[in-house]
Amino acid sequence: MTITEGQTVPAFSLPDQDGNTVTAAQLRGGWAVVYFYPKDDTPGCTAESCSFRDNFEAFTDAGAKVIGISSDSIESHKAFAQKHNLPFTLLADTDSTVRKQFGVGKTLGLLPGRVTYVIDPDGIVRKVFSSQFKPKKHIDEALAVITNS
């Protein structure tokens, strides 16, 4: 199943980089930007995450949470967040269960997909943006949806 615009975010529960459990229900009540990325500390994923970091204040000013999800471990996420001063939550989907729930496939059958979901305060997906090769564009797309709503 692929989650598309207008659908409710599926229920999930994953650990963050500090070992705390984060659930889909905790996203409700404010805007959320959930981005799936292939791997910690790779060039494209670092560029994407640092772009979210550099625009983090704009997201928080708009009342939005930013959450990154990959199949890396809690420890990998913690090191990645510390190395690049990432002020937002990274979730460890080590068995790709949540990636599958959202329907985030692989690019060229090899790389885990890069997909961003903009979720409204009621848990409804308002925008889906997928681009393996334009990681920084996700930030502009997500901010535009939130600030124009």
Total residues found in the chain within this entry: 149
Q: What is the pLDDT of residue 132?
A: 63
Tens digit of each residue's pLDDT (9 = 90 or more) over 41-98: 998 899 999 999 999 999 999 999 999 999 999 999 999 999 999 999 999 999 999 9
pLDDT band at 29 (very low <50, low <70, confident <90, very high): very high
50 is a catalytic site residue: no
Q: What is the pLDDT of residue 109?
A: 66
As a whole number, the mean pLDDT across the chain is 92
Q: In sequence order, which residues have a C-beta less than 8 Å from that of residue 83 and are 6 or more positions away?
A: 41
Domain ranges of the chain: 13-147
DSSP annotation of 11: P
- 3-class DSSP state for residue 109? coil
DSSP β-bridge partners for residue 120: none
Does residue 13 register a pLDDT over 70? Answer: yes
Q: Read off the tokens for 38.
A: 């292939």
User: Of the listed 27, 32, 45, 91, which one is catalytic?
Assistant: 45
Does residue 1 register a pLDDT over 80? Answer: no
Tens digit of each residue's pLDDT (9 = 90 or more) over 100-148: 999 998 876 677 888 999 999 999 999 998 876 676 677 888 998 998 8
Residue 90: closest CA among 126, 50, 129:
50
Q: What is the pLDDT of residue 135?
A: 65
- 3-class DSSP state for residue 18? coil
Asked if the 13-147 domain carries CATH number 3.40.30.10, the reply is: yes
Cα–Cα distance measured from residue 38 to residue 115, given in angstroms and rounded to the nearest whole number: 10
pTM of the predicted model as reported, rounded to 2 decimal places: 0.94
